[in-house]
Amino acid sequence: MATAVAFDTLKLARKLEAAGFEHKQAADTAEALAEAMTTAEIATRADVREAQAATMAAIAEVKTETMAAIADVKTETMAAIADVKTETMAAIAEVKSALRESEHRQAAENATMRAEAKAENAAMRSAL
């Protein structure tokens, strides 16, 4: 809780007069300063400690929330990576399967062409 500071205006006015201020000037200055100091709220050490504790608690809360958010993002990222890996592996399997099919078709076509070539070759030899 902020407290007002007790202020001795007479003592200040006398010191100001001793330093060369005129009486009215010294009295007015002391009064203005006293008013400013008594209406101002000055934090006590307890106030500062309380504010510091509240600030530290708020920082700890933000840290906890941030760490939780980071953990959530990490989990989501790992799940997305797993999904992409699964999709990639499926695509690779499809490509491999299509490649095998193509190889089998090509082998069958080659065998057919060889058989046709042999038959033509045999027919040409018989014709000779």
Residues 6+ apart with CB under 8 A from 73: none
CB 18 within 8 A of CB 59: no
Domain boundaries in the chain?
43-127
pTM: 0.51
In order along its 128 residues, the chain shows pLDDT tens digits of 555 566 788 898 899 999 999 999 989 998 988 887 777 777 889 999 999 999 999 999 999 999 999 999 999 999 999 999 999 999 999 999 999 999 999 999 999 999 999 999 998 999 88
Amino acid at 118: K
